[in-house]
A and B are shown apart, each in its own frame.
Chain A
Amino acid sequence: MLATTVTSGVVVLVGAVFLACAVEMVEALTIVLAVGHTRGWRSAFEGTGAALAALAALVAIFGPALTRVPLSSLRLIVGGVLLIFGMQWLRKAILRSSGLKAMHDEDVVYRETVAELRASSSSPQRDRIAFVMAFKGVFLEGLEVVITVLTLGTSAHRLGLAVAVAAVAVVSVGIVGVAVAKQLSSVPENAMKMGVGVLLVSFGTFWTGEGLKVRWPGNDVMLIVFVALYLAVTWGLVGYLRRSRPRTATVAQ
């Protein structure tokens, strides 16, 4: 029984961290590739390196601090944040799958970034623009990775595992991304986002309850129940919206 409960929690944790980090890495890599191909790799790498250093500093500062917060308070705060964040992801993925919102297309993002970079001046400021764009892309997407890893890892008392899984996700996507160069649009990003949304809402529900001293039947096994529940709701909502509305993609983001 103990092995079963530990495995349930760990499997869901690993899945959530891996998928969330992979999705954010795809988005960051698209921007870095656009900067590198358009304005040169030096600025792209410098911007990426500076952003990674800033993110590492944030982890070094907030990681140990989070482990000192009492566990029930930490789980309530983390649960609430994950509940909100997960529902936002899930909502967006549902609207995209049902055709009410345009799919996130990495080809479009790539073309828009390239156009923006080409339109900007080619003065000595050129490198600065490329640096800033690479830095912002990596830092903002990376910040979501940091928050996901810190919140999931510390609440589950498995920060080391969460960091290791995040590193594997980032390196794997990095290798694949470099290999396929500009074809990141072939990554099934919306399906991955939907999966992450389901897992984050499941963890959010579980830890919010833990933080409020709710005794879950079966302990960690309830995570699997929540995953099944939210998957069913997501599937039902997508089906309902597809049947009841014309497929008009309206919002691109």
Chain B
Amino acid sequence: MSERRPPWPVRLVKGFAMFWWDFLIGDTPELFVAALVTIGVVALLRGVGHQNAAAVIALPVLAVVSLVLSVRRAAKPRE
């Protein structure tokens, strides 16, 4: 019995969603989450706390910490 292919608009939407999933999340979901956390922290510092100097420091520092943790996670030997 042959499996029916979904209609082309469904395949198009599915392909588009899959592209963005691979593009933004892929095999590094930790970087996606880290970017969201970084944006949240800086938004709170700037928008709620009105702490511009803290936001200036926090944004690159959080990006560096995210990168270092992700690289360390990848470098960790698998059991």
* A94 at the binding interface (Cβ < 8 Å): yes
Q: Is the interface of B mostly helix, strand, loop or mixed?
A: helix
Set A88, A91, A226, A245: member contacting B60, Cβ < 8 A: A226
Q: Is the interface of A mostly helix, strand, loop or mixed?
A: helix
* B17 at the binding interface (Cβ < 8 Å): no
- Is B47 a contact of A212 with CB atoms below 8 Å? yes
* A68 at the binding interface (Cβ < 8 Å): no
> Which bucket holds chain B's interface residue count?
20 to 34
Complex interface residues of chain B between 41 and 68 (CB less than 8 A to chain A):
42-43, 46-47, 52, 55-56, 59-60, 63-64, 66-68
Set B56, B71, B75: member contacting A209, Cβ < 8 A: B56
Q: Give chain B's interface residues, CB within 8 Å of chain A.
A: 19, 23-24, 26, 28, 31-32, 34-36, 38-39, 42-43, 46-47, 52, 55-56, 59-60, 63-64, 66-68, 70-71, 74-75
Q: Give chain A's interface residues, CB within 8 Å of chain B.
A: 76, 80-81, 83-85, 87-88, 90-91, 94-95, 98, 100-101, 143-144, 147, 201, 204-205, 208-209, 212-217, 226, 229-230, 233, 237, 241, 245
